[in-house]
Structure 1
């Protein structure tokens, strides 16, 4: 089995484990790993369901913010010298367009830079059907 396939299987196993958790990692319910084209990168997809919506019947901003944190952390996990521990120190999201129930979003997360004590991560959210950019996120983590 290729290294790329092993990475994808490991990432999907981490997501599956999170889905079974009683803790916050249940946010991974419904997320599917699509690819990891290089160390530090992961692409996932999620079908938008009723439970993901806000009162305007669009994807909740808190869901996008949480996915920015969680999926970018998975991208960091694909690096060979991945940190043993990490903690978020900064997170920002720019919301550009709404997603609706029934749509599928692509979540593309990448490790921009991994330094001695900080990791800089970025995330793009796109509508899978038309490739429109929905949101972008930046995530900085302390690593050790």
Structure 2
């Protein structure tokens, strides 16, 4: 209606991309959300503009994982950011978890199978 990105989409992407950031550490199961929030900095652009999202795992302990997702417009300006906290306690013990090499390109512990 207003030809802007809906805030619910930003929140949904924060949820999904935050989970994928946790998965980059070899977590087969990425846990359950305990907290999720978004802040909207400026309008996200016009219809047809491409937004970029970058998800980062900011911390991970034995029970909780913390992520941040930044959304930028075509000019590279921050338009919104989200944070996502996940409870990973039991999922960190899953038998299908793997350990990646420093560069993230190779599985060095566990067995990677992209088909279940």
Fold agreement, TM-score > 0.5: yes
Give 1:72 deviation, angstroms. 1.2
Count of aligned pairs between the two proteins = 88
Bigger radius of gyration among the two: 2
User: What SS does the aligned partner of 1:121 have?
Assistant: strand
Root-mean-square deviation (Å): 1.2
| Cα distance in structure 2, aligned partners of 1:86 and 1:138 | 15
* Structure 1 residues 17-38: Cα deviation after superposition (integer angstroms, max 9, x where no partner): xxxxxxxxxxxxxxxxxxxxxx
Higher share of residues assigned helix: 1
Higher relative CO (Cα under 8 Å, sequence separation at least 6) belongs to 2
Distance 1:140 1:123, change over 3 A: same
Corresponding residue of 1:63: 9
Q: Deviations over 1:24-74 (max 9, x none)?
A: xxxxxxxxxxxxxxxxxxxxxxxxxxxxxxx21100000000000001111
Q: Does 1:123 align with 2:97?
A: no
- Structure 2, unaligned runs of 5 or more: 91-116
